[in-house]
């Protein structure tokens, strides 16, 4: 019997976090959100972590908030549910290592917002994405109103949010919402392949690059450039930097030590 909730598996620094509520298209209830948050904290604290892959069990990535949990709920309970979902893309952004969304099926509402919190998004050909909250009397409030315009531009983001429309994987790729579209059966092998490429690079350099990009997006150019320079200077002092230069000179694969 398949476990329900969320499972975290890791090998060679590549962690796969799987949402496992397939009977409800991996809809996000508070319990699942807590499990996901705990799993992300484990990855963040692991010095051997290199990449995180986030995906869903069954035919969906994530259908968003579990609305059954909201029926008859108090305002405080509704807001707590919302905050538990919003905490996940926030944690994905703060994760020290790159996060890749492997969108194996519908990624709607909060599910789309989880994908937006990742650094890269790869989608199966059959996937659909969207923010349909306005059709339920609410609006996206787990980061989509802020992350979506930064990713695809304000006009396209407003069109998606205001209409509540779903877009196909092909259209999502065209507008820059996803980075690649692959046949469904090839999705995880393709994502794990790119994860392996990332994991083979210098781990401290990858972590520094993510920090520079993520922090720079939220700051002005001048502050971002200052941070970039400061992080690069720190990397120059590492054993991995010296190893990278030696490996290039000796025409061999680098042996990273993460120091």
Q: Check if the beta carbon of residue 122 is closer than 8 Å to that of residue 191.
A: yes
| Local confidence band at 129 (pLDDT 50, 70, 90 cut-offs) | very high
Residue 164 included in any domain:
yes
Identify whether residues 242 and 188 lie together within a single domain: no
Structure tokens given for 253: 């694969």
The answer to whether residues 219 and 134 belong to one domain is no
Does 26 reside within a domain? yes
Catalytic site includes residue 171 = no
| Same domain membership, residue 47 and residue 136 | yes
Q: Does residue 71 sit in the same domain as residue 136?
A: yes
Range of the domain at 213: 203-250
pLDDT in tens, 199-233: 999 999 999 999 999 998 888 899 999 999 999 99
Return d(Cα 170, Cα 127) in angstroms, integer. Answer: 9
Mean pLDDT of the chain: 95
Last-in-domain residue among 184, 199, 214: 199
| Same domain as 176, residue 106 | yes
The reported pLDDT for the residue numbered 217 is: 86
- Do 208 and 131 belong together in one domain? no
Q: pTM for this one?
A: 0.94
- Catalytic residue from among 35, 57, 93, 133: 133
223 in catalytic set: no
Query: Which tens digit of pLDDT belongs to each residue from 70-89?
Result: 888 899 999 999 999 999 99
User: Which listed residue (35, 57, 93, 113) is catalytic?
Assistant: 113
Asked whether residue 128 is domain-assigned, the answer is: yes
Same domain, 101 and 186: yes
The pLDDT score that the predictor gives to residue 219 is 85
- The CATH code of the domain that includes 210 is 1.10.12
Per residue in 1-49, pLDDT tens?
A: 456 799 999 999 999 999 999 999 999 999 999 999 999 999 999 999 9
Question: Does a structural domain hold residue 257?
Answer: no
């Amino acid at each position: 019997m398949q476990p329900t909730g969320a499972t975290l598996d890791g090998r060679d620094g590549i962690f796969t976090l799987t949402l496992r509520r397939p009977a409800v298209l991996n809809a996000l209830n508070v319990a699942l959100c807590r499990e996901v948050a705990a799993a992300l904290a484990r990855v963040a604290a692991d010095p051997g972590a290199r990449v995180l892959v986030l995906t869903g069990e069954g035919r969906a990535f994530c259908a968003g908030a579990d609305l059954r949990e909201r029926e008859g709920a108090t305002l405080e309970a509704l807001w707590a549910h919302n905050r538990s979902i919003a905490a996940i893309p926030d944690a994905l952004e703060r994760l020290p290592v790159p996060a890749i969304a492997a969108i194996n099926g519908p990624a709607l509402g909060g599910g789309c917002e989880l994908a937006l919190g990742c650094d890269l998004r790869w989608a199966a050909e059959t996937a659909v994405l969207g923010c349909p909250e306005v059709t339920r009397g609410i609006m996206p409030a787990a980061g989509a109103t802020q992350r979506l315009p930064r990713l695809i531009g304000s006009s396209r983001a407003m069109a998606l949010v205001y209409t509540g429309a779903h877009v196909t994987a092909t259209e999502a790729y065209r507008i820059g919402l996803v980075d690649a579209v692959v046949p469904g059966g090839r999705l995880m092998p393709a994502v794990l392949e790119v994860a392996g490429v990332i994991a083979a690079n210098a781990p401290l350099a990858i972590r520094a690059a993510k920090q520079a990009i993520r922090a720079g997006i939220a700051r002005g150019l001048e502050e971002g450039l200052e941070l970039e320079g400061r992080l690069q200077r720190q990397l120059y002092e590492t054993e991995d930097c010296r190893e990278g230069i030696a490996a290039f000179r000796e025409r061999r694969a680098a042996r990273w030590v993460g120091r």
